[in-house]
Structure 1
Amino acid sequence: MSSSNPNASSPTGPTDASGEQWGSEGSKHRRKRRLWPLWTLVGIVGLGGILYATDIIMTEGNVPRGVSVGGVDVGSMSKPQAEARLKNQLSDGARAEVEVAAGDMSTTLDPAQSGLSIDWDATIDQAGQQPLNPITRITSFFQQREVGTISAYNDALLDQTLTRVEQELTRDPENAALSIDDAGTADIVDDVAGQTVDTDEVRTAVKDHWLNEQRRVDVDADVTEADVRRDAADDAVEEVVDKVTAGDVIFAGRDDTDGVLRPADMGRIVTFVPEDGAFRVDWNRDAAQEILDEQLGGTEVELRNAGFTGTGRNLNVTPSQDGVLIDWEKTLDPIEEKLLDTAERRHEVTYEEKKATYTTEMAEKASFDDVVGSFTTGGFADDSGVNIRRVAEQVDGAIVLPGETFSLNGHTGPRGEAQGYVDAGIIQDGHADKAVGGGISQFATTLYNASYFAGMEDVAHTPHSYYIDRYPAGREATVFEGAIDLQFKNTFDTPVLIEARADSSSLTVDLRGVKQVEVESDTGARTNFTDPERIELSGDNCSPSSGARGFTVTDTRTVRDLNGGVLSRDTTTTVYDPAPIVSCSG
């Protein structure tokens, strides 16, 4: 009887879940085929682990694979190797000049002189360590990673450079300029905007970007526009330049002679000054007069008073001449209207007749018989006497016409060695000294007193700072070439002749003419005394002195006509400083 038990064993052995029999050779091969992928995977993982471990060991401490700095591949290198390569390939570029620009201005800096350099260690360190992530390590074989450079700074050097850079990127605004050139056309200079830069911004930009490929650092500029712009110049050209240069401006003079102001002359006459956003126009009438006078001067007749030639009292009369002179004020004013008028470019010259104030007839009646003023001084040293006699020679015979002013400096001109003057004693700061021309003040004092008693008008005289006892107190004068002068005016209607004579011990100056007045001098008492100070000097020119007290004194001049009537009475006050007590050392 057969069994129906489904679990009864097969005669060939047990079966697996798929119905295969376990014990057969075929089933073993089939099982191997099913397990080989697993073993392959295990092998690959194991090999990968070995390679991974080997890579970690071999690259320990190196720059990560795939890293470049400034385009230079340093991946997988040791740090010393990477630093050497970077220095070799990037150092020259890091030393190149850097342009720093702001607005429309730029300048340059030298990195080495500015304390800018590359921190090689920090640059390499920032690449980091070899990654532990196996995927990252694998992709690093195929990808490059760029890391930036890190800079090092010498702040002291950088501060010096940035101070200069800031100055060279800064400027004040410049107004437009306008002028008329020698061709009679407008010459315009455009305005320039001013600008400033922020110091901190410049510093940050330079530090962050000095190593970029362009070798250029850009900084923002704060711009300030000029007060007077190009459009103001254009307006002035239309309103003024085009009109004054529209053609010749003619000034018709006598004898068919014309003076012409041409467009090319207008640059000397018309100038433009930037002011309050526009151009102020300045009109130079003197320049226009100078240009026209060169052309019209021949139409004038010189005004000349009568004069005298000859020596001493052997004089000949130089005739007077009435003049015909251009009245420039009436001819030119208002100059702006005449130059801007494009319709009327021709104007008449206005002349004025001038009569001589001292005529030939007056000169022919002149007399120099009377001594109208005279004064004598003495007591001078030999060297001073040389200069006194020389200036007396120059002044002797001078004539002062009615209404004229005599100037001692103007008459003699320079008084140096070339003119016959020598080194002689002077008073310098209250003590004795020497200078070329010393002693001239004695002549000035003598001439001043002669003119004083002649009734001449005192135009300019300067007393000595310290009183000199050979001169009358409050009635003396000093001179200094180019600075201090003696001047007096002949207010009478007759001329005066100056006669000056000097010997080894005295000097006399006479003013001769027609006596018309009597003059009295009243010298007041000395007051307000001041005591001298003591000083010590050295040198060959030092001269000991006991000093002298300073004081104040007045002088009153009374001028009377020949009948005794008072014409004027004037008082002058003179303050003398104390002369120091001088002792010499050495």
Structure 2
Amino acid sequence: MSGHRIEKAPKGEQKQGKKGAVLAGVIAAVLLCGYLGLCAWVGGRNVIMPHVGISGLDVSGMTRDQAADALKNALAEERGDPITLNISCEGWSGKLSAADLAVDQETTVQAAMQAGEGPFLLRGGQYLAHLLGAGSQVELALQDQQPALTALLEDMERQVGDVTMAHWQVSGQTLELTKGVTGLAADEEQAAQLLHQALDQGFAQKFGQGEQNVTVDVDLPVTQMPPQEPDFDAVHQDVYTEPKDAALDGTTHEIVSESVGLDFDPAQLKAAYDQAGEGETVSIPLTVTQPKETRESLSAKLFRDLLGKGTTKVGGSAARKNNVALSAKACNGVILLPGEVFSYNNTTGSRSASKGYQAAPVYVGGASTDEVGGGICQTSSTIYYAVLHTTLEVVERRSHMYNTGYVPAGMDATVYYGSTDFRFRNNTNYPVKLVTESYDKGGSRYLTVKIYGTNETGTYAVPKSTTFDQVAPTTQYKADSSIPRGTTKVDRKQNPYTGVKAKTVRYVYNKDGSLNQEQSMGTSTYKMRPKTIYYNPADGDPATWANGVPPQPSTPGGGQTETKPSTGENTVPAETPAPETPPQTGGETAGGNEPPSQDLQT
């Protein structure tokens, strides 16, 4: 067994070595802490590093706001002492001033703030390097939109470039596309980069070197460039046309001409383009779709057919006849395009004295009274009566409280502005027009409503109604001390009405007269109103009168006066009384058996 003995260092030397290692560690820790502190301090200063410039403009040690002000002032100074770029390209020349270019000052200052910083652990070193003379120059950032630069490059391209771009045209029922031809062209991306560099150079000469009236020459290169392939989807969007029928303009009432539909397959066009040589023209067929309706055909069809007609006799006072004529005039000539809805209230508007409407009888809570616009329900009812003779769709309709008498039971339409309306929809494929006429004939006033449109199939409608549950007017007595004793007076304003219900059906027939369908239009309910007789309360209960005649008052001599029952003085009736037995033909109701709170029935 062999080996050797390791000599141990003296104890004093061992202690000295340990002290040196500890001291070195302490120094390293101090230096590290100091460096980390420096990095933190640099990051928290919020100022630009030493020896940092913006295209020659010194912004060292500035805050963000200070640097922004310095850049703003420098750019303003440049406007009075311009930096000019003299640009040339293949014999073309142009000029561009730095003032023509929009600088993105915020982005530029932000780049200066970040210059030289780097990651946290490198900030201290970067700061020391900049402190010892290392520098950073930040280029001016330009805004995305540069109208002056864009216009200059476009002018250069027009003068220098001779690349022939692809172009297309529609010829008859084919699409022709001519392929472009390779030629000289300026590289706009490279040109913009070179101009940007020249701009920075000009600012560096002005800001960094103090030169005035700086001019920088820039020579832009050209290159051989093939024609750009067309955007086939964009070509399709330009060529594609939806077929459109001629139609009537709802505002001007003029016919808008038709459009022929055009379409093609973009993939087919691209395949033909790929196989063509430069400058060669290729063509593909277009899919042409003719409209169903032309200007000429529509003109021949518009309002050619009388779809339905209704006529009513207008009675009552002159004021009532005036109101009927005014409301009819407001509806005359109204045109509804397919799908549009006619609203009687919207068409006539509020019935006010300023529009010429006068006070005439209406029903309020079942009683007759005078109100401005009384009588206009005859117009809405006559229109409804005409609609019932068509296949047009009824949207809203309500029957009167009492049977009107001027249209068959179930064929009236009450309205009251703001609450109750009459509406119908044009459910045909063509416009319809209302034509109203108020006229005198044979000493009487009449109102006629005609609905014109285009009857494509020849169908027609016949409305009929069946009445039932008739209730004859009862008689009621009301005491009135103004009535002379021994006499009575019949209320001629609150006329009696027979109560009745009317179920209406619209029968739609084909052109050959065969029944197509039966449309149930609902049931209308009209209330009974009793006959009212006024009497003097001193004559006692009418139920005790002999033969329904009030007792005669005694004469001063003890006798009685001759019995002469009186009907009193008649007032102007609210309307021509409804017949005791309503007509057996009637019309449609859109529902609603309960009367409105105020009912413009006449």
Which TM-score bucket, shorter chain as reference? 0.3 to 0.5
Larger radius of gyration: 1
TM-score by length of 1: 0.38
